[in-house]
């Protein structure tokens, strides 16, 4: 499903989407790491 949508998409749109997703993943990882660190300090 996802890859079918990607094939139909504009080739310039795909890297932007991947970049946006990787930024979201990095932000989520930072949040999780911050929460974990906060728990460790208690």
Q: What are the extents of the domains in the chain?
A: 2-41
> How much is the pTM?
0.50
pLDDT single digits (tens) 1-42: 566 665 665 566 777 878 889 999 999 999 999 998 888 876
| Distance (Å, whole) CA 6 – CA 29 | 25
Whether residue 33 contacts residue 40, with contact meaning beta carbons closer than 8 Å, is answered with no
pLDDT value at position 29? Answer: 93
Give SS3 for 5: helix
Q: CA-CA distance, 37 to 16, in Å (whole number)? A: 31
What is the rounded distance in angstroms from the CA atom of residue 1 to the CA atom of residue 23?
Answer: 23
């Amino acid at each position: 499903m996802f890859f079918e949508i990607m094939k139909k998409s504009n080739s310039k749109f795909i890297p932007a989407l991947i970049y946006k997703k990787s930024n979201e993943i990095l932000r989520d990882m930072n949040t999780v790491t911050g929460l974990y660190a906060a728990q460790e300090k208690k």
